[in-house]
Structure 1
Amino acid sequence: MERVSAVRSFGGQQLRFKHASAVLRCDMHFSLYLPPQAATGSVPLLTWLSGLTCTDENFVQKACAQRAAAEQGVAILAPDTSPRGEGVADDPEGSWDLGLGAGFYVNATEAPWSEHYHMYDYVLEELPALVAEQHSVDLERQSIFGHSMGGHGALSIALRNPERFRSVSAFAPICAPLQCPWGEKAFSAYLGMDRELWASHDSCELIRRATSHLPMLVDQGAEDSFFEEQLKTPLLAAACQESAYPANIRMQEGYDHSYFFIASFMDEHVAFHAGHCAP
């Protein structure tokens, strides 16, 4: 694991690393914020999953999360959104919603994607273990959150593995990928045409199948241009109501899909997770 950069921030360190991923079979970058508390003891690990077209650096530079992480004493891990590099498949049409920057946090089963696109295993298994080997983070106190495609990833990964996480939250998540163009395009490419396999990564379907409940917070901007066609937040709310799943789903008037929206409520999300990651 090669350290690419390190800067001081709110008494802690904002770090960026490069490593050879065995799961993705390529070199990857990721960012890690360590709060000042990590210098003297183990801290909870909060993983952030970014949205379409992003890298790990979007969150680091735009979300204004370091101050809240320092105050709450939590580390924040930000992986990239897809495998990268020479030989990694990309959309032959050059579209931004498939291929590089659009891994959708699943393990691809279809060629050519199945060679490298195993973001589910990377986020859930390989990367947290790698970080815990070298830094003072407590994998028994993990939470996960994300935005848009990353909101889908955070919700679906947490709902599939409730024993691994203390809490989950999302900003403007793709709530029902089985029922939106982004999800249908990505899942048909990465997972083939088995819609039951798709359902195992669809947050609405996972909520209906859940046998245990995680604390869940979702914020959605009312002025989000992707709200009706792609994000389908009302379907998530309906699934939670039908299943008596106790999620806090909030519509935020006047906010859009951007990092201005994310930064506005970041402190609340970090505090939400820190409250559930107490020893």
Structure 2
Amino acid sequence: MTNQRTDRIEHHACFGGWQDVYRHRSNVLGCDMTVGVYFPPQADPAHPRHAPCPVLYWLSGLTCTEQNFIAKAGAQRYAAEHGIILVAPDTSPRGDEVADADGYDLGKGAGFYVNATREPWARHYRMYDYVVDELPAWVEADPAANGVRAISGHSMGGHGALTIALKNPGRYRSVSAFAPIVAPSQVPWGEKAFGAYLGDDREAWKAYDTVELVGAARERLPLLVDQGGADEFLEGQLRPQLLQAACEKAGHPLQLRMRAGHDHSYYFISSFIGEHIAYHASALKA
């Protein structure tokens, strides 16, 4: 990984490859960001099956950093099997100059993958531009990456993955989500964050709402969604039935899999992350 303002701060052997963590300067966010990057064994020039690898971007949920996914999901095993680079950024800008709020669902750790337009958030909270443009430009400058990408995420990050894929036709080969916030304009988490970051005009919120976006999507990229049936946030914050109804109305392909007994935790994610990575691998190598 090469960048003028980049430091590798962790380096761990893992399933024949390397789990690294980098700190790099983000001009978009105006702060330093940490990013987990897993390089599968196929990314090593000495590997007998060496080749540049596709990239799967993972967006995490509320309160998370890059550490939650790389330490808890068990995804590296499957990325090594399929020859996929995994990139897991932090969930918000960080630093003493970055605005914050009381509570876990606004401010640091809760960037919601939007470009904030209201102060004090607008100066730093531009996670949409960071994920769509700046992060891939930084990651994919490495010769280990082949320029083909997919995106996935959990909860707030599932919201981010779905909206970013829908708003950028042709940019991602595939998209999936675990327990996504599919209609943030209609649930407390989203109403609080959008009201703070975007203001009171609910029309502006629609640009970051999956249920609103599917109707006007210019690309019928299939959506794969896994949702735990015992998720404590299912009815109050997630409401996957709203996405199902919107996709049926728009004729947009959706595979919604309700997983009986599973909650909102990384036990749920780790149970099915192998299936998701295999799903992305099929699209990334098509």
TM-score, normalised relative to structure 2: 0.95
1:223 to 211, 219, 230: 230
Q: CA RMSD in A?
A: 0.8
In the alignment, residue 108 of structure 2 is paired with which amino acid?
A: L
Quote the offset at 1:135 in angstroms: 4.4
Q: Which residue pairs with 1:147 in the alignment?
A: 154
Instruction: Name the residue aligned to 2:43.
Output: 38
Deviation string, structure 1 residues 209-265 (Cα, Å, up to 9, x no partner): 112211221000000010001001000011111111111111000000000000000
Is the 2:170–2:219 contact (alpha carbons within 8 Å) kept by the matching residues of 1?
no
**Which ranges in structure 2 are unaligned for 5 or more consecutive residues?**
1-5, 45-49
Deviation string 1:97-138 (CA, Å, 9 cap, x unpaired) is: 000000000000000000100000111110111111234112
Q: Match of 2:266?
A: 259
Structure 2 Cα separation of the partners of residues 252 and 120 of structure 1: 29
Q: Distance in 1 between matches of 2:254 and 2:53?
A: 26
Deviation, structure 1 residue 155: 0.3
Question: In the alignment, is the contact (CA less than 8 A) between 2:169 and 2:218 conserved in 1?
Answer: no
Say whether residues 1:112 and 2:115 are aligned partners. no
Which of 110, 119, 130 aligns to 1:102? It is: 110
Runs of 4+ in structure 1 off by over 3 angstroms are: none
2:135 equivalent to 1:127: yes
Specify the alignment match of 2:29 in structure 1.
Answer: 24
Contact 1:166–1:215 (CA<8 Å) still a contact in 2?
A: no
How many positions carry a matched residue from both structures? 276
State the match for 1:249 in structure 2: 256
Alignment partners' CA distance in 1, 2:143 and 2:240: 36
Consecutive unaligned residues in structure 1, runs of 5 or more? none
Q: Report the identity percentage.
A: 57
Amino acid at match of 2:38: Y
Q: Distance in 2 between matches of 1:208 and 1:272?
A: 24
Structure 2 counterpart of 1:187:
194
Amino acid at match of 1:110: R
Report whether the alignment pairs 1:163 with 2:209: no
1:76 is paired with a residue of what secondary structure?
strand
Preserved CA contact (<8 Å) 1:49 1:81: yes
Per-residue CA deviation, residues 143-202 of structure 1 (Å, 9 max, x unaligned), is: 000000000000000000021000100000000001000000000100111212100110
**Counterpart in 2 of 1:177?**
184
Q: Could you say what secondary structure the match of 1:115 adopts?
A: coil
